[in-house]
Structure 1
Amino acid sequence: MNKKERLEKIKEILKKRNISSQKELMEALREEGIYVVQATLSRDLKELGVIRQSSDLGKRYIIPENAINVASLKDLFHRVVVSIDFAENLILVKTIPGNAQAVAFLLDNFLNVYDYFVGSVAGDDTILIVLRSKDKTQEALEKLEELRK
C-alpha cells in the first residue's frame, strides 16, 4: 500500500470511528491489514491536519474541514475559551486543557482574511495570536469577543 492509500484509509477510519490515541489508530489500521510505525503515523496525522478535540465521548482525532464554519467556531468558543488577554500586538487565548489546537486551527482560518493577522501558536490550553502591529489589537479583540457572544 502506498502513502496516498494509507492517508485515505486513515481519513476513512477517523470519520467512522471515535479514535482517541495513535495506538488506537495503529490498531485500527492493523485490522485493515496496514502496518505502520508510530513515527510514520505521527507524520501522516500532521500531513492530514488531524487535531485532537474534546467531545461528549472524550478526546478524539478529527480532520477539520478547510472551510471555516463561524457557527462551529462560536460554539467551540462558548464551550472551551476561558479568557482572552493581550499585550501590544499579541493576544493570549486560554482554553480548557486539550482544546487550544482546535481553537487555533479555526481562528487561523477565521482571521487569515485580515491583513493584520500574522498567525497563531497553540499549546495544550493556550493560544498566542500574533498581529502585525498593536494598532489593530483592539479590532482583533472585538472580533474574538464577538465570537464569545
Structure 2
Amino acid sequence: MKKHERHKLLKQLLVENTVYRQEDLVNLMAQRGIEVTQATISRDIKQLQLIKVPLNDGSYRYTLPSEKEVDTTMKLKKTLQDAFVDADIHNEMCVLKVQPGNGPTVSSLIEQVDYPEIFACISDDDTVMIFNRSTQGAVKIQDKLETMASEN
C-alpha cells in the first residue's frame, strides 16, 4: 500500500473509531488486512500532524488537526526562494544545498507535497538528500525545485 493510500485510510479510521494509542491504529489496519509496523504508524502520525485531545474520562485520543488553508507547495516554493543554494543529481539521488538551518524544513515540505517521483528524503542542517524512484525522476525533481527557487 502506498503512503498516500495509507494516510487516506488512517484518516478514515480516525473518523470511524476512537483511537487511544498507535497500537490501536496498527490493529485497525491489520483488521483490514494491511500489515504495518508501529514505526510506520509513528511516521504517519507525524506526517499527518495528528494530535491527541483529552476526553471527559481523562484519557486521550488521536484526531486530525483542524483544517488549515496552507498550500504546502507554495510554502516549499517560498522556503526555497529564501534558502536554496544549489542542486545536483547522481543516478536516482538529488542533493539540495540550502542555507544553514533550512535542511529539515525543506525536507519536511518536500515529503508533505508527496511527489510521486520521490521515495524518501533525509536532511541535515544545510543539505537535503532526495532518493528518487528513477534517474528520470531525479532530473524532474531537480528541475522542479530549481524552478521554484528561481521564480518570483
Q: Normalising by structure 1, what TM-score?
A: 0.51
Contact 2:96 2:128 in 1 (8 A): yes
Structure 1 SS opposite 2:125: coil
Give the Cα separation in 2 of the matches to 1:117 and 1:75: 20
Structure 2 unmatched ranges of 5 or more: 1-19, 21-44, 50-67
Partner residue of 1:98 out of 97, 101, 109: 101
Change in Cα spacing, 1:113 to 1:80, as seen in structure 2 (3 Å) is closer
1:40-119 superposed matches below 5 A: 68-110=71-113, 112-114=114-116, 116-119=117-120
Give the Cα separation in 1 of the matches to 2:107 and 2:71: 12
Contact 1:92 1:126 in 2 (8 A): yes
Contact 1:81 1:95 in 2 (8 A): yes
The amino acid that maps onto 2:139 is Q
Q: RMSD of aligned C-alpha atoms?
A: 2.5
Which residue number corresponds to residue 8 of structure 1? none
* CA offsets 1:59-87 (integer angstroms, 9 cap, x no match): xxxxxx79652222111101111111111
Contact 1:68 1:106 in 2 (8 A): no
Give the Cα separation in 1 of the matches to 2:72 and 2:96: 19
The amino acid that maps onto 1:77 is L
The amino acid that maps onto 2:136 is D
Contact 2:98 2:126 in 1 (8 A): yes
Which residue number corresponds to residue 125 of structure 1? 126
The amino acid that maps onto 1:97 is P
Give the Cα separation in 2 of the matches to 1:113 and 1:77: 16
Give the Cα separation in 2 of the matches to 1:113 and 1:95: 19
Name the % identity: 22
Which residue number corresponds to residue 136 of structure 1? 137
* CA offsets 1:80-99 (integer angstroms, 9 cap, x no match): 11111111110000111111
Structure 2 SS opposite 1:139: helix
Structure 1 unmatched ranges of 5 or more: 5-46, 51-64
Number of residues of Structure 1 aligned to a counterpart in Structure 2: 88
